Amino acid sequence: MVWKQLVGEPLGTDDLDGFDAMCRSSLDALRHIDRDGVDASTFADVIFETFTTRLSDGTAVELLAGGEEVPVTWENRAEYCDAVAQARLGEAQRQCDALLQGLSYMVPQRLLALFTWRQLEVLTCGTADVDVDVLRAHTKYGVGVSPNQRHVRHFWAALRRFTPEQRSLFLRFVWGRARLPVGAADWGDSKLTIHAKHSASPDGMFPIAHTCFFSLELPAYTTAAICHARLLYAITHCQDIDVDTTSGARENRDAAVEDEDDE
């Protein structure tokens, strides 16, 4: 909804799905209520709405003058649905106008209109899904770790099994951000570093991330299933990035630097 307004694309009822799918579903059901066997004679027995709606912050608003006293009827239900959609889609207009005003100081507004909303989103934030191949191309390995090791292969297989939302959680877990850089130049010198997490019982350990250093300590899991389960638990339940500048993290960072120098 926000991106469309920034590039001047019209909003439609489908855009309600982006922030209130239940509202969109309810409006569709009301608009086509005849499909459920309701007709003009029975409409008032099942629908008790008036021309009001609630915005995302819970504020109740009238959809027309005196709307609280105007009942929704069989005849005006489509008008009501259109009015609700218009009110909900326009509730962030002031905020979007402020964003657009700020952007226009850097990029002329007429140029934004050259892009689709999806193109502008990607240029601004990157793609929503984490491309595993791109991440792998920007990965290096610490002392004693190589991409051919079994547990490292399990790690990449787990990332490919993840949903897009889970891959985004992983990136947040290991780097403190939800999306990859847009292009190669935006990566700079940044690379994910995979270090060994030594343990006599690796299957009982969880991976450890150091977001400030974009690094991951990976136990030598014995199976793909265990690797997937441990990694998924970690990215789901640990998103605190305030205490990762530890002595262990710095040692891993320095070890990786020394390893590169040796090469």
The answer to whether residue 113 is domain-embedded is no
Residue 262 has a pLDDT of 45
Are residues 87 and 14 located together in one domain of the fold?
yes
Helix, strand counts (H, E) of the chain: 13, 6
Contacts 24+ apart (CB under 8 A), 119-123: 120/3, 120/6, 120/7, 121/3, 122/182, 123/182
Are residues 13 and 71 located together in one domain of the fold?
yes
Number of domains within the chain: 2
Residue 124 has a pLDDT of 85
The answer to whether residue 226 is domain-embedded is yes
Listed in order, strand segments (DSSP E) in 157-262 are: 192-197, 208-210, 215-219
Are residues 136 and 258 located together in one domain of the fold?
yes
Residue 254 has a pLDDT of 57
Are residues 185 and 238 located together in one domain of the fold?
yes
Last residue of a domain, one of 62, 93, 124: 93
**Residues forming a β-bridge with 141:** 194
Residue 263 has a pLDDT of 43
What tokens were used for 228? 């997937």
Residue 246 has a pLDDT of 52
Last residue of a domain, one of 70, 93, 116: 93
The answer to whether residue 223 is domain-embedded is yes
The answer to whether residue 11 is domain-embedded is yes
What tokens were used for 75? 């005849």
Range of 20's domain? 2-93
Q: What is the CATH number of the domain that holds 45?
A: 3.30.2160.10
Are residues 74 and 189 located together in one domain of the fold?
no
Are residues 38 and 157 located together in one domain of the fold?
no
Please enumerate in sequence order all residues whose Cβ is within 8 A of that of 210, keeping only pairs 6 or more positions apart, or say none.
216, 217, 244, 245, 246, 249, 252, 253
Are residues 145 and 254 located together in one domain of the fold?
yes
10-residue block means of pLDDT along the chain (263 residues)?
A: 92 91 95 95 95 94 96 97 96 93 90 92 85 95 95 97 95 92 88 95 94 94 97 88 52 49 44
Q: Tell me, yes or no, if the pTM score tops 0.75.
A: no
The answer to whether residue 186 is domain-embedded is yes
What tokens were used for 105? 């100081």
Last residue of a domain, one of 65, 93, 121: 93
Catalytic residues: 212
